[in-house]
């Protein structure tokens, strides 16, 4: 509803029925009592006398004239008070007739300016017989809804003006109410859209987290498989070593017995019997081989432990659980760490060829780059149906470190290329992909002020080219001058 300058919604009792919708409240300000009386005569309707002919013929006369509710004020200050009072009782004036010269006190222009400050919608008619102020000056100081009339004024002119302006006041009020309602609806819709956007953002975060957890689950399975092998042969070696040790203990007891028998330097028949048992035991249990194998088993167990240590260390480096800030990183190390972690996902489907050149270190989030390489390499592996080849090449120029990951997989359809970095877009079967891997990778490279370009042809494989700036200033704009062909991002 309407509230301008503290105004409350207007009382509907101000208006007549819908066929004659008017705010009849009019204010006349003039220091001349006769002029005020003239306004009353012009604006307050008088019942018309029915002619004798009409009465005899039972013909109704015309409808009575429209009556306006006129309030008079004898000076500017009185008029200002009248407007204040009308707003307080919620019966605002539709228009005010203001005389230009009203000594003493404020003149008509000053009064009109004060009225406009109180009520921005009141129509003001300045009535004057003089040219104290130019029309431009009046319009600049009062701005809108102001008219200037020259004295003397006629009844028809005043009544027609009052009728039109009182109608216009109601129209303006209705338009303002409609605008307020429209703004309220827009605000409600905007709030609803903001809430929807917030929910979508929350859902996106949940999906990203879900995708990340799915990737971690997949990696965990691969890591478990990789760790299981060295643990298996460590346990087997240690079990065999335990059997050897049991045999060594039995042999050592025989040696102890023999030592006791031979304490005086003579070997009797019983001592010789023990010596024969020792020789037989060594032959049956192949102790010479066991002595050699013990050393190999221990070395193998140590090697297996080192392998486990390497895998765990690479996984820690890959996840960067202990380092979330920027760090000076060799991108080749990120590639190697990623290959170590996902080796189980690749070795059964493809051959990985590395052509890694020496690179300058760059400041980046190593864990995030590991995630990018993981997404691209797993996508390449999944695109290869039979034994194929994945080639990883690293290089650099004066501005950027460049990594290319190519595969001999089934490629990407040309119509799908513009959309592969869009969230949730996937060409995989339902349930096999969320469509977030490449979108996440694009976001990570974008955050590092780099670029990622894809080149692909159906049936002939795909190549992703990543460029990362060597500059340590990560506040500069995203690099967009990549001259490589393909789909720039």
Residues 402, 467 contacting (CB under 8 angstroms): yes
Give one DSSP letter per residue of 144-194, joined into a string: SSEEEEESS--HHHHHHHHHHHHHHHHHHHHHHHHHHHHHHHHHHHHHHHH
What per-residue confidence (pLDDT) applies to 61?
52
> How are beta strands 400-407 and 461-469 bridged, if at all?
antiparallel
Tell me the backbone φ, ψ of residue 29, rounded to 5 degrees. -120, 120
CATH fold of 12-153 reads Rossmann fold (3.40.50)
pLDDT in tens, 9-62: 444 444 443 444 678 899 999 888 888 888 888 887 655 555 554 455 455 555
> How are beta strands 362-364 and 327-329 bridged, if at all?
antiparallel
Residue length of the chain: 489
Does an H or E element contain 352, and which? strand 350-356
* Sheet with 25-29: strands ordered across: 69-73, 25-29, 95-99, 123-128, 146-150
Decide which of 368 and 354 is more confident: 354
In the block, tokens 């500069």 appear at: 476
What per-residue confidence (pLDDT) applies to 489?
34
Three-class DSSP category at 393: strand
Per-residue three-class SS string for 231-274? HHHHHHHHHHHHHHHHHHHHHHHHHHHHHHHCCCCCCCHHHHHH
Averaged confidence pLDDT in the chain: 76
Decide which of 213 and 94 is more confident: 94
Q: Sign of torsion, CA 472 477 483 487? A: positive
What per-residue confidence (pLDDT) applies to 466?
93
pTM: 0.41
> In terms of Cα–Cα distance, which of 36, 40, 38, 103 is closest to 76?
103
Can you say how many angstroms the Cα of residue 347 is from the centroid of all Cα atoms in its chain?
A: 39
> In terms of Cα–Cα distance, which of 129, 90, 93 is closest to 112?
93
318/342 Cα distance (integer angstroms): 10
59-98 burial: b if 16+ Cβ within 10 Å, else e: eeeeeeeeebbbbbbbbbbebbebbeebbeeebbbbbbbb
Residues 102, 134 contacting (CB under 8 angstroms): no
CATH node for 320-469: 3.30.565.10
394/415 Cα distance (integer angstroms): 29
**CB-based contacts of 364, cutoff 8 Å, min separation 6:** 326, 327, 329, 331, 448, 468
What per-residue confidence (pLDDT) applies to 476?
44
| Structure confidence at residue 215 as a pLDDT band (50, 70, 90) | low
For the chain, the domains span 12-153, 212-316, 320-469
pLDDT of residue 442 exceeding 80, the answer is yes
Residues 446, 478 contacting (CB under 8 angstroms): yes
Question: What letter would DSSP give residue 48?
Answer: P
Residues 362, 401 contacting (CB under 8 angstroms): yes
Decide which of 139 and 346 is more confident: 346
pLDDT average, residue stretch 325-332: 83
Three-class DSSP category at 328: strand
Question: What letter would DSSP give residue 431?
Answer: T
pLDDT of residue 3 exceeding 60, the answer is no
| Structure confidence at residue 313 as a pLDDT band (50, 70, 90) | low
Tokens of 129: 């017989």
**Distance (Å) of CA 64 to CA 48, 50, 59, 60, 115:** 6, 11, 15, 11, 32
- Report the percent of the chain where pLDDT is more than 90: 11
**CB-based contacts of 401, cutoff 8 Å, min separation 6:** 331, 359, 360, 362, 394, 395, 467, 468, 470
pLDDT of residue 316 exceeding 70, the answer is no
- Report the percent of the chain where pLDDT is more than 70: 71
**CB-based contacts of 10, cutoff 8 Å, min separation 6:** 2, 23, 90, 91, 92, 173
pLDDT average, residue stretch 115-129: 86
Residues 440, 211 contacting (CB under 8 angstroms): yes
Burial class (CB in 10 A: 0-12, 13-18, 19+), 175: exposed
Residues 373, 329 contacting (CB under 8 angstroms): no
Question: What letter would DSSP give residue 92?
Answer: -
What per-residue confidence (pLDDT) applies to 338?
87
Give one DSSP letter per residue of 444-482, joined into a string: HHHHTT-EEEEEEETTTEEEEEEEEE--S-TTSPPP---
- Strand-pair partners of 246: none
**CB-based contacts of 78, cutoff 8 Å, min separation 6:** 29
């Amino acid at each position: 509803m309407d509230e301008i300058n503290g105004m409350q919604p207007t009382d509907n009792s101000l208006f007549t029925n819908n066929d004659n919708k008017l705010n009849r409240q009019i204010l006349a300000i003039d220091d001349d009592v006769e002029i005020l009386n003239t306004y009353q005569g012009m604006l307050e309707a008088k019942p018309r006398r029915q002619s004798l002919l009409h009465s005899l013929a039972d013909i109704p006369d015309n409808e009575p004239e429209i009556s306006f509710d006129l309030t008079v004020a004898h000076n500017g200050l009185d008029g200002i008070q009248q407007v204040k009072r009308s707003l307080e009782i919620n019966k605002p004036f539709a228009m005010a007739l203001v005389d230009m010269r009203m000594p003493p006190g404020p003149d008509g222009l000053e009064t009109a300016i004060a009225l406009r400050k109180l009520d921005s919608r009141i129509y003001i008619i300045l009535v004057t017989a003089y040219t104290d102020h130019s029309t431009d000056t009046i319009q600049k100081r009062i701005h809108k809804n102001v008219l200037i009339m020259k004295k003397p004024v006629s009844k028809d002119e005043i009544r027609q003006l009052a009728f039109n302006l009182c109608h216009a006041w109601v129209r303006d009020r209705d338009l303002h109410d409609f605008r307020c309602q429209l703004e309220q609806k827009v605000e409600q819709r905007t709030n609803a859209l903001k809430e929807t956007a917030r929910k979508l953002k929350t859902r996106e975060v949940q999906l990203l987290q879900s995708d990340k957890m799915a990737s971690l689950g997949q990696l965990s399975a691969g890591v478990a498989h990789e760790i299981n092998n060295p643990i298996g042969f460590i346990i087997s070696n240690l079990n065999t070593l335990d059997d050897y040790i049991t045999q060594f203990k039995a042999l050592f007891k025989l040696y102890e017995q023999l030592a006791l028998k031979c304490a005086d330097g003579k070997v009797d028949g019983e001592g010789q019997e023990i010596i024969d048992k020792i020789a037989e035991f060594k032959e049956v249990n192949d102790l010479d081989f066991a002595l050699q194998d013990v050393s190999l088993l221990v070395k193998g167990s140590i090697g297996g432990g080192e392998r486990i240590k390497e895998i765990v260390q690479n996984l820690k480096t890959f996840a960067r659980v202990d380092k979330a800030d920027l760090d000076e990183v060799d991108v080749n190390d990120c590639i190697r760490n990623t290959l170590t972690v996902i080796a189980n996902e690749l070795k059964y489907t493809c051959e990985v060829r590395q052509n890694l050149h020496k690179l300058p270190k760059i400041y980046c989030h190593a864990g995030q780059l590991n995630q990018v390489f993981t997404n691209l390499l797993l996508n390449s592996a999944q695109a290869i149906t039979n034994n194929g080849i994945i080639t990883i090449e690293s290089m650099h120029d004066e501005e950027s470190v460049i990594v290319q990951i190519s595969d001999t997989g089934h490629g990407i359809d040309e119509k799908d290329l513009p959309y592969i970095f869009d969230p949730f877009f996937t060409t995989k079967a339902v349930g096999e992909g969320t469509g977030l891997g490449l979108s996440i990778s694009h976001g990570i490279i974008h955050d590092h002020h780099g670029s990622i370009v894809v080149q692909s042809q159906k049936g002939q494989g795909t190549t992703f080219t990543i460029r990362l700036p060597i500059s340590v200033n990560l506040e500069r704009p995203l690099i967009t001058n990549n001259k490589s062909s393909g789909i720039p991002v």
